[in-house]
């Protein structure tokens, strides 16, 4: 850049000196300088842009490489949990396995369990027994990083609720770790966003009466995804979730219901959600739509806050 500026100033000064002797030569030099400055600046801008893009691509590649073990660990325990919950839903009378190493003889999942399956993480399966009956009524799958204090290497925990808990940040100096849900299936489902849009639409445009179908004003679009509206504007198809809109029932014109079902169960998500006609929210980790009989989601599923009711102290 300094050389470029020095040459440009020299050309201008030389052209000015020539201009004292011959104005035609001065005009030609001035035009050549303007041409040089224009295309030179364009070339410099293009070179700077390419350099910036290259640096950004290298940064993204480095970030992906950094988080790759954690992503693989999360995907692995989600796949294992999906198998456990699917089998338990089909056979509710059966217990969860007492161990996954070795797996049960009737283990029919494609996902295998091995403590050293994920690089830089160690997996562990802990059956949870009922104190009164001794039956295995729940489980905990954990993925523990092999080294503390590295960004992107936090302990992961999942149980029969199908929620991936993260101890974040783990063993970072001068920072108190918190158990959180990151990322949250509830946020990914856009259920809260769609309900907010519906409530606002009802308040502003329909005098308190829910619409019969979903309109363009309340389709649940976000900055990163726009669902496709199907089935007479009562079904929203997004990448990971299918959302159904239930209009008011006969005799109760002031209420509506919503159901968001995880489409890529065991791959991206596990949780499905249901907003009942009374406005209450319910959730399930099983491979089915949620119903009004399912429990409410945890408060920390809906916000980046600490899960205060989770007792977990990674060592």
Q: Please tell me the predicted confidence (pLDDT) of residue 223.
A: 45
Judged by average pLDDT, the poorest of 53-62, 97-106, 186-195, 236-245 is 53-62
Residue 134 has pLDDT above 50, yes or no: yes
SS3 for 213?
coil
Within 8 A by CB and 6+ apart from 269, the residues are 185, 188, 189, 240, 241, 262, 263
**257-to-54, 153, 210, 243 alpha-carbon distances in Å:** 48, 39, 10, 11
Burial tier of 281 (Cβ tally within 10 Å: 0-12, 13-18, 19+): buried
**14-to-8, 22, 89, 118 alpha-carbon distances in Å:** 10, 12, 86, 68
Residue listed under structure tokens 């600046």: 41
> What is the number of other CB atoms lying within 10 angstroms of the CB of residue 53?
10
Whole-angstrom Cα distance, residue 106 to residue 10?
84
Q: Name the pairing type of β-strands 228-230 and 235-237.
A: antiparallel
Say what the pTM is.
Answer: 0.76
> What is the number of other CB atoms lying within 10 angstroms of the CB of residue 197?
18
Q: By the 8 A CB rule, do 253 and 209 touch?
A: yes
Whole-angstrom Cα distance, residue 209 to residue 144?
50
- Return the half-sphere exposure (C-beta side, CA atoms, 13 A cut-off) of residue 87: 17
Q: Please tell me the predicted confidence (pLDDT) of residue 19.
A: 64
Whole-angstrom Cα distance, residue 152 to residue 132?
39
Residue 34 has pLDDT above 90, yes or no: no
Of 300, 267, 79, 108, the C-alpha closest to 187 is 300
SS3 for 303?
coil
Domain extent listing, the chain? 1-182, 188-301
Average pLDDT over residues 115-137: 92
**87-to-91, 97, 160 alpha-carbon distances in Å:** 6, 10, 12
Residue listed under structure tokens 């799958």: 141
SS3 for 144?
strand
Residue 176 has pLDDT above 50, yes or no: yes
pLDDT tens-digit map of 42-86: 888 888 888 888 888 888 777 777 788 999 999 999 999 999 999
SS3 for 45?
helix
């Amino acid at each position: 850049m300094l050389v470029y500026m020095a040459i440009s100033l020299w050309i201008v000064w030389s052209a000015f000196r020539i201009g004292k002797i011959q104005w035609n030569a001065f005009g030609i030099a001035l035009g050549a300088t303007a041409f040089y400055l224009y295309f030179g600046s364009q070339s410099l801008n293009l070179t700077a842009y390419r350099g910036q893009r290259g640096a950004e691509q290298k940064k993204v590649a480095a970030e992906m490489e950094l988080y790759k073990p954690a992503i693989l660990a999360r995907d692995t325990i989600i796949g294992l949990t999906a198998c456990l919950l699917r089998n338990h839903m089909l056979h509710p009378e059966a217990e969860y396995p007492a161990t996954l190493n070795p797996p049960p003889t009737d283990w029919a999942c494609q996902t295998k369990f091995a403590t050293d399956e994920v690089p830089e993480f160690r997996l562990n399966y802990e059956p949870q027994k009922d104190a009164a009956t001794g039956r295995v009524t729940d489980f905990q799958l954990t993925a523990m990083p092999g080294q503390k204090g590295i960004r992107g290497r936090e302990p992961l925990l999942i149980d029969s609720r199908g929620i991936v808990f993260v101890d974040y940040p783990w063993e970072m100096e001068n920072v108190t770790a918190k158990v959180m849900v990151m990322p949250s299936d509830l946020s990914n489902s856009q259920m809260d966003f769609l309900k907010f849009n519906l409530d606002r639409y009802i308040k502003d445009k329909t005098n308190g009466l829910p619409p019969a179908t979903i309109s363009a004003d309340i389709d649940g679009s976000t900055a990163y995804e726009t669902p496709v509206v199907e089935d007479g504007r009562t079904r929203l198809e997004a990448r990971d979730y299918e959302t159904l809109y239930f209009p008011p029932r006969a005799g109760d014109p002031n209420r509506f219901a919503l159901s968001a079902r995880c489409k890529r169960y065991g791959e991206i998500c596990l949780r499905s959600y249901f907003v009942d006609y009374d406005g209450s929210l319910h959730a399930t980790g099983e491979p089915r739509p949620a119903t009004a009989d399912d429990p409410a989601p945890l408060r920390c599923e809906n916000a980046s806050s600490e899960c205060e009711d989770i007792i977990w102290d990674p060592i």
